[in-house]
Structure 1
Amino acid sequence: MLRGMRKASSNWLGKAIMATVMGVLIVSFGIWGIADIFRGFGQSTLAKVGSTEISAEQFRQIYTDRLQQIGRQFGRPLSPEQARNFGIDRQVLQQTLAEAALDEEARRMGLGQSEAETLRIIYNDPNFKGLNGQFDPQRFAAMIRNVGYTEPRYIAEQRRVGLRRQIAGTIQSGLEPPKTMIEALTRFQNEQRSMEYIKLDAAQAGAIDPPSPEALAAYFEDHKVQFRAPEYRKISFVAITPDEVGKWETVSDDDARKVFEQRRSQLGAPERREVSQIVFPNADEASAARSRITSGTSFDDIAKERNLNLADVNLGMVAKSAILDPAVAGAAFTLPTGEISEPVQGRFGVALVKVGKIEPGTTPTYESLAPEIKRQIATERARAKVSELHNKMEDERGGGASVVEAAQKLGLTPVTIDAIDRSGRLPNGQLAPEIPQGLDVASQAFSSDVGVDNDPIQFNGGYVWYDVLGITPSRERNLDEVRDQVEAKWREDQISTKLRAKATEIVQKLNDGGKLADVAAAVGAKVETAVNFRRDASPAGVPAAAVSAAFRTAKDGVGQTPAAGGSEWIVFRVTDVTVPPVDLASNEVKQIKETLQRSLSDEQFGQYVTKIESVIGMSINQAAFAQVTGANN
């Protein structure tokens, strides 16, 4: 494919919302922007929404970037199979289509956002702020360049994001969850249970004789697929990211000290003072009040006479820059502790200012900040270097050089891994230590082939180039290769089968009126208890499966559940069920209300987007989608 046609897509700005719920990743359906992908018509169309076409290559880049983001959250890459099992492929597609539909709707409605507002949002983005906490133009330019944006394109993308938010804000405003729903969810969430239980493990399973050769061979034949050798690939790659390039940068003390001196006034903590003020409509009333204070009337009494509470007069412990009125700020930061100012003509009236506690400002030394300043200087230099190396690497690759050849010519250190599976594991089952955390180069390699000129992967503000050098197909192993593994798995299954039977027998005895203590003594187990736990709790020593099972069992009811993969079994009796009363004024209930409100808002907005898509028309090339997400592999 033509390298110049690559599109930038989702990035470190986190424009899409993603969360983990009950161990299942849910990529939110979004309005916040995946990428600048909706530009013109492509050669190979994956989807069409209204007049907007999304090419397979555009979606591939979006999907790849999203898997990398998730991989960095988990600390390990996700394979295409795992991504499909989590439903991430469909969720990213849904979000991409939703954004296209919203952009079409914004055009139809004639919505707009001023350039000034768009720039205000960009200036306030913390990703673009330097050491002094202010917008840093150089940092901004380097960061958007490293994710493939020019300044005009990035500003245009932010304007589109703003228009989507306008639509979302209108659709989602004013929704309130019913009181009955709030109370029901609160009771469900706060319900508590207590139980007594015993754990059955290998000791209760009894002696298990080794399998005969015939039995082991038969077991292997029935479970052969579990012991199949996966497909492996030999790959080489090189990473060019600010972190990697920054390691090569040497920042002198002279350079770091210059930056320190330039920013000295903005570093450290400013002086802070406890400031109170009473504002009067004119100078005469302010002067009269000050005279009364000097005669013995307290500042607080004057405030009470004017029907002012503490929040009305106390500005708290603040820095000078945090006081909106410059005149009040000037007075407050010249008074000694405990003094009352002369009447001060401010923006909102004539004020009397009182100063309480004073916290002196602190200015850090160069030595204390030198490592961080040097790291930031190195990173800033590295961002520019990444762009330069990217172009050189692309030139070498365009001239036919392999990743290893191109990297070596540029003085970079490539990595070669002789055998790796889809999940990034070596034949010994360990994760390949050479692959940086969060880099999904393994699954990308399994979507490619030997000799293919692959597009670089965007990663950590930079790029990773990779080649597939060889393929070792998946194959069936013979019993001799995996005999120890097969025997261990056979033993685990035998233990699990015996424990299930033992647990079923115990449950029957308890249902017939037996005591858990008597049963425990008979099998050599210990009775344990877990008291007043909620359904989202993790009581010490209690498997999550047992907690879930307890909440499916009535008071005084008996149950059983496997734990630790079947090598341990839990038998329990629910001894108490408590539902605390609902306090609608509590912070917890307020949080539940907010959660419900967001959920209802998202649901309503989702219905709105679905309606837009049905009105303007939407089509998906399922074959192209399957190819991009690896479903055909």
Structure 2
Amino acid sequence: MLHGLRNWASSKYSAVLIALLVISFAIWGIGDFTNMGNTDVATGKDITISQEAFLKEFDRTRRQTELQQRRSISIADARAFGMDQQVIQSLVRDELFRHYLKTAGFSASPGMVAKLIFENPDFADEQGKFSQELFDQILFRNGFTEQEAQTLFFTIMMENQYAQTLIKLGKASPAINTGLTQTSNISVRLKMIEVVIPEQEISNNDALEFFNKNQDLYKIPQQHQFEILNIDQDALRSTLRGAIKDEDVQTYYEQNKDSFRTEERRNFIQFRNKSNLPKEEFVSRVNAYQNHNNDSDIAVIRFEGKTKASLLDEMANIVFDLNEGAISEPSSELMGEVIYKVEKIIQGTIPPLVDIKSLVLDTMVDNQLPEAINDLYIAVEDRLAAGETFQSMTKIQGLTMKQETISKNALATALQLPDRQTLDDILNLQPGDEPYGFNNRKLVPSFIKLLNIEDERPAQFDEVQEQVKSDALVEKNIQTRDLSISSAREDFGNAMDKTLTRQQLTELLQGQDLSPILLRDDIHAFIISDQKAIVAQKVELISSDQKPDPRLNPLILNELIVELQSDVLGQLVDSGDLKTYPANIEGALSRFN
């Protein structure tokens, strides 16, 4: 969670990724499987990870991974990837490190945290001013509350303070001290050759030759052939909708009018105490506020036509408890005290039936659908018990059948399996077994019958031709690039002479370790991609009286934070009496089912 937000507090020019230190579960204790009333998923001498914190972070990580990979990831898939263990490790790492920093005496005032957030360009509008709405949108999109974000920024500031302290005390590694801190305000004169190769071409003969050399790498995984009987919700909804009479719609509307009322909306103002004014002074200025006021100590943000659901919980609960014209009590947050004033309450209205007839019909169908699905499920079970085939049941409205061959690795995604147990049950099926029924991820019943299993086998070239071409292309690009690097080394006497600032060098090498340039005198090749490299050698370092480029600070601090975590976390883990509770982890994840 902490690493998901750290980039907000870092410069957009920083190309260094925050390393995720993986803590091996082998060195952790295993808690009692019987729980004894404890519902935490992990504990330590100084930390506790609750089921709620684990569930929230697991779901957030899974959804972010879905966005990155542009595909649905089930709970079973996520667990197969080890996401549950990764999330626990991440939460434990962050809590251990946060506790360590606090006990070391590092802190940040609410004003410092507020300043960090208010001045962050990611939260600025087109005029460059802090936008509360944009801030809320980013938090909402990433699944964070404002309180969580403030806590994370608070931790980031503690990390940065510690990193800066180590720099000043000279306790960072020689590479970081010399290569980053002491050279952050210098320029580097170097000789360099930029190696850029064009995209190579792969013919069918090239691909076939590559396949023949690497045939053992290409396998067709175990294949499962199924008959699949699905409940077609769209067809079932259409049938239910067609059976509803106009008089039934009218009756339902009259009986449930209030449920179709539009949401109440509110226009309100948020006043934030930017300058740590005394509480009484802050309240007094808010009470005296007029639209034309310009108070440099108070941030004023207007919200128009907001529904309760569109706001973060903390804000919504306060604003929607106020009457029109009322002003809230000050509420304390890390970013400073906040007061809300409701200017106008826009009551919801009930539209006439003619305007929302389709919505009313959809609502009636939604209400009837679960029972209809359940009735259909029971009917299918009864017919299967009587010996009927899937094919014979396709005449029933709302049922569809198909035959499909699915690789073992794709079963969870293709069948939309809800959990690991269902996947295990299906993997244990044998041809000729009775049909197996389950509720998929969307809670819609499906029935499958295993017809055949084809064992894993070596692939034929035609079956994997596109993948082979892609792999052969990568290899050819790398080989061509490496040959070009060798040629550049041999022809280095003709390298161009160039002088770059520390920042320009960082951007050119895309955040790679600069010590081969800054601390050594030999020729070094920096690999940028499969098709690009920089071959360079330092000529001299040129000192500057200018202050270090402030854009470098996040880069320096992030690299130092990673080093700090690596050094400190091992000790914290060893002394932290850490335990995980498998039964509680299972109990937490079962809520998704």
Could you say which structure has the greater relative contact order, defined with CA pairs below 8 angstroms and 6 or more residues apart? 2
TM-score in terms of structure 2 length: 0.45
TM-score in terms of structure 1 length: 0.43
When Rg is computed on C-alpha atoms for both structures, the one with the higher figure is 1
